[in-house]
Amino acid sequence: MDDNKNIILVEELVKDYSMGSSYFRALNDISFTAKKGEFTGLVGPSGSGKTTLLNILGALDNPTQGDAIVLGKSVKSLTHKDAARLRNNSIGFIFQTYNLLPVYSVFENVEFPLLLLKKGKEEREEAVMKALSWVGLTSKAKSRPNQLSGGESQRVAVARAMVKNPVIVLADEPTANLDAENSHNIIRTMLKLNEELKTTFIFATHDEKVISYLHRKIVLNDGKIVNDINLN
């Protein structure tokens, strides 16, 4: 993929939520582009529309008006099945609450996206161990999520998001439940992966620790982009 090509193109995006007879506008006329390998943050206070925008970029939600073109695909026109395929093939998610599958071991949690992609056993094992080594958790491969600390859980979530080598990783407040040390570790891990694998990271965050690592900061307030700063 051409590094200078826009992998995300957001055009005059509007997202309204129905509230009985009225509606709440979560995103208002958002437009921006993102290229491969960016380490970008959607920054702003609670309720500014960061998560909503991230959800639309991840094809988990549809815009009310405008469109988001992700990897050449219009989110607005994707069917449920196509959206699932896009997420499965090209997008990794990291959530604030880790969202690990409790019945699976660390290894199996990380392996899960590869199973959905119907990868072979050997390829899966190799990829999972590699992903766990990126986050320094090879020794915890057999542990269950309930045996991990918050920091470890989030590193497993990072490994799960990265194992399929996605084009884009969308991280929603990935450090919100972590202490300072773990927050720095997680962000440094993601930054390293961004540099080594050229994976595009887009964060929704208002954590100053995360913001200090960003290469680009898109500031949202009341559903509008109020600033778009290149920090490189």
Partner 1 sequence: MLTIKLAFKNITHAGIRTWLNVFVLSFAFVLIVFTEGFYDGMAQQVKDAMVNSEIGGGQFWQKDYDPFDPFSLEQSHSIIPDNLSNEINKGNASAVLIVSAAIFPRGHVQSALLKGIDPNQKIVNLPSAVLDHNADTNSIPGLIGSRMANNTGLSIGDFVSVRWRNIHGTFDAADIKIVDIMSTDVQTIDRDQIWIPLNKLQSMLQAPGQATIITMKKTVSTIPSVGAEWKFRNLAYLLKDINDNLNRKKVSSAFMYILLLSMALLAVFDTQVLAIFRRRKEIGTLMALGMTRWNIISLFTLEGSMLGVLAFVTGMIYGLPLLTLLAKTGFALPSMVQGVGSSIPPTLYPKYGIRLYLITTIILFISVMIVSFLPTRRITRLKPTDALRGKLS
CB 62 within 8 A of CB 76: yes
Nearer to partner 1, 2 or 19 (CB): 19
Q: Under the criterion CB under 8 A, does residue 99 sit at the interface with partner 1?
A: yes
The residue from 104, 184, 197, 209 that contacts partner 1 (CB under 8 A) is 104
Residues 38-67 that bind partner 1 (CB under 8 A): 55, 58, 60-61
Give the range of 27-35, 89-97, 148-156, 193-201 binding partner 1 by CB under 8 A. Answer: 89-97
Least CB distance to partner 1 at residue 59 (A): 9
Residue indicated by tokens 């582009």: 33
| Alpha carbons 83 and 63: distance in angstroms, whole number | 13
Give the range of 66-74, 92-100, 124-132, 180-188 binding partner 1 by CB under 8 A. Answer: 92-100
The 144-173 site mask, x for binding partner 1 (CB under 8 A), equals ----------------x-------------
Burial of 215 per CB tally in 10 Å (0-12, 13-18, 19+): middle
Q: Which two tokens stand for residue 182?
A: 């773990």
CB 59 within 8 A of CB 91: yes
Q: Under the criterion CB under 8 A, does residue 107 sit at the interface with partner 1?
A: no
Q: Under the criterion CB under 8 A, does residue 97 sit at the interface with partner 1?
A: yes
Residues in the chain: 232
The residue from 80, 120, 208, 232 that contacts partner 1 (CB under 8 A) is 80
**Cβ contacts of residue 85 below 8 Å, gap of 6+?**
none
Give the range of 68-76, 77-85, 148-156, 173-181 binding partner 1 by CB under 8 A. Answer: 77-85
Give the range of 30-38, 87-95, 194-202, 207-215 binding partner 1 by CB under 8 A. Answer: 87-95
Nearer to partner 1, 64 or 99 (CB): 99
The residue from 115, 180, 226, 229 that contacts partner 1 (CB under 8 A) is 115
Q: Give the residue from 19, 18, 16, 111 showing the smallest Cα distance to 63.
A: 16
The residue from 32, 39, 107, 112 that contacts partner 1 (CB under 8 A) is 112
DSSP reduced 3-state for 102: coil
Region for 136 from its dihedrals, namely left if φ exceeds 0, alpha if ψ lies in -120 to 50, beta otherwise: left
| Alpha carbons 91 and 205: distance in angstroms, whole number | 18
